[in-house]
Structure 1
Amino acid sequence: METLSSHVSRTIVTRLVLPPDTNHMGTIFGGTVLSYIDEIAAISAMKHSRKVVVTASIDTVNFLSSAVVGDILTLEACVVSTGRTSMEVFVKVESEDLESGRKTLTTTSILTMVAKDKEGRPTPVPGVIPQTAEEKRLLKTAQQRKQHRLETRNQ
Structure 2
Amino acid sequence: MPAHSETRIIEMIFPDQANHYGTLFGGNALPLMAKAAFVAATRHAGCPVVMARSESVNFATQIRLGEMLELSAEVTRTGRGSMTVAVVGNALPVSGSARRAALTGKFEMVAVDGDGRPQPIARNCFNEGQTE
TM bracket, shorter-chain basis: 0.7 to 0.9
TM-score normalised by length of structure 1: 0.75
Cα shift at 1:4: 4.0
Corresponding residue number in structure 2 for 1:88: 84
Alignment of 1:118 with 2:110, yes or no, is no
Identity %: 34
Q: Secondary structure of the equivalent of 2:19?
A: coil
Q: Secondary structure of the equivalent of 1:37?
A: helix
Cα shift at 1:101: 2.3
Corresponding residue number in structure 2 for 1:41: 37
Give the whole-Å Cα distance in 1 for the aligned partners of 2:70 and 2:116: 32
Corresponding residue number in structure 2 for 1:51: 47
Give 2:70's aligned amino acid. T
Corresponding residue number in structure 2 for 1:76: 72
Corresponding residue number in structure 2 for 1:98: 94
CA RMSD of aligned residues (A): 1.1
Count of equivalent residues: 122
**Which 5+ residue runs of structure 2 have no aligned equivalent?**
123-132
Change in 2 beyond 3 A, CA 1:98/1:54: same
Q: Secondary structure of the equivalent of 2:21?
A: coil
Q: Which runs of 4+ in 1 moved over 3 A?
A: none
TM-score normalised by length of structure 2: 0.88
Alignment of 1:32 with 2:28, yes or no, is yes
Equivalent of residue 7 in structure 2, options 11, 24, 28:
11
**Which 5+ residue runs of structure 1 have no aligned equivalent?**
127-155
Give the whole-Å Cα distance in 2 for the aligned partners of 1:4 and 1:43: 13
